[in-house]
Amino acid sequence: MIKFIFLYLRPISNHEIKTWELEVFLKYNAQIEVLDLSAILYPKNYTEMYSSDEKSVGKFQSKKILSFKQLENYINKNTKQAIFVDFINGLGDINLNSEKIFRIFKKQKSKYIIIASGEIPRFNSLKLYSQTSSYRKLISKIINVLISKIILFLMRHEFIYAKPSLIFTTKSDRLRDFVLERGLNKKSIVYINSHDFYKCKKNFFYQKDKIENICVFLDESATDHPDYKILNFQPPNQKVYFNKMNLFFDLIEKKTNLRVVIAAHPRSNYRNNNPFNLRNILYDKTPELVKKSRFVIAHMSTSVSFAVTMNKPIIFSEIPGLASNSKFNSYIKLFANLLGCKCLNLEKYENLSKNFFTFKPNKDKYRKFTNKYIRANHSNNDSFVNLVMENCLPLIKSEIKLSANQ
């Protein structure tokens, strides 16, 4: 039996259980454990960030790690029979908060993998900071980048930090950079499709749902996402945000005779308070709603991949109410350009004609996006889990064989 230990920056919720397909792992007789590292990665504010959802996950309840010493003991105890799954950094850069984890992996000779099935485009963050941030923040960012470069050098030459044994992901530009920066063997890459693609394939590709007179807003819980506290991110002004978004939705409904429906972010908290002027808010229905819609409205949600997969037109909206030095709206404009979509500044736009909302997707840009971020594996698999199991079993067998020979 193979054991997977998932390392995560917060307690697991039902959203992660579905996205990571943990129930499917159990069908392969795998053991699953989840470690919540929020207390050691973000000790100042980790206790403030969670909703009640984390209390209802049953057998997948997270084990809270309170110190790096406790983490090292836990890894040492499980190294020979387990594979660790990095959901802390993934294909991102290792920073001073998380670098000790990878030092422990190296010290304990642990095997860890990366599953990055929800990648979206990443842009030059230094360029964005230079456009939108103060000199103090820019200098801080430069220092952090230099630290990351040093860590990458040490990992590349395997001095202090362990490299991942396998990477399961799509063909994003970030993967290419990740492999080159760390000097990884390309044989360690296993291409999988995005989790949104698998979800579409299982449930929606072959349904012939009638298109309804709706457009769907892909909500991101923009004003109170629980991660904001842990990441020390200043959210948009709540009053400004909902006022501007609702005015925009009013205009859409007036010009198009469509209803705007809200596909709620799984970590949002709208069940007792509807800030969208009583518009329908639906949870866990995003792909169904996208398939039935005429077009989609988004900021920078990963759920954009549903719209791309189903060939739906997308209007990107900048996030109203953000601080003037925020980088996120620059990111949204770049994201929209990548897909050949329209992007609106809701602080400045003028009255729009009905023709603005009548457009077709850019098929060429959608196809390129699909090939990079959505569909990398053209097999008939209905889940990435069988690929993970197939490629990870030899890692554990080699470890058992090595232990027997010692």
Per-residue pLDDT at 36 exceeds 70: yes
Mean pLDDT, to the nearest integer, of 305-318? 95
Higher pLDDT, 119 or 180: 180
Per-residue pLDDT at 299 exceeds 90: yes
Kindly report which listed range (92-101, 179-188, 205-214) carries the lowest average pLDDT score.
Answer: 205-214
Which CATH number is associated with domain 206-372? Answer: 3.40.50
Higher pLDDT, 299 or 330: 299
In the chain, where does the domain assigned CATH 3.40.50 lie? 3-193+376-405, 206-372
Which alpha helices (DSSP H) does 310-384 contain, by range?
328-338, 363-369
pTM, two decimals, is 0.87
Which CATH number is associated with domain 3-193+376-405? Answer: 3.40.50
**What is the residue whose two structure tokens read 């307690």?**
11
Q: How much of the chain, in percent, has pLDDT values that exceed 90?
A: 58
Look up residue 386 and give its two tokens: 């069988």
pLDDT digits (tens, 9 = 90+) for 271-288: 889 999 999 999 999 999
pLDDT digits (tens, 9 = 90+) for 107-162: 999 999 999 987 778 765 444 444 445 566 667 667 777 888 888 888 888 889 99
Quick one: pLDDT at residue 402? 45
Quick one: pLDDT at residue 46? 66
> Are the beta carbons of 97 and 152 closer than 8 angstroms?
no
- Residue by residue, DSSP assigns 70-131 as HHHHHHHHHTTTEEEEE-SSTTS---TTTHHHHHHHHHHT--EEEEE-S------HHHHHHH
Mean pLDDT, to the nearest integer, of 190-202? 86
pLDDT digits (tens, 9 = 90+) for 214-225: 999 999 999 988
Kindly report which listed range (3-17, 66-80, 323-337) carries the lowest average pLDDT score.
Answer: 323-337
**Mean pLDDT for the chain?**
86
Per-residue pLDDT at 48 exceeds 90: no
- Report which secondary-structure segment, H or E, holds 33: strand 31-36
Contacts of 264 (CB under 8 A, 6+ apart): 219, 221, 270, 281, 282, 283
Quick one: pLDDT at residue 126? 41
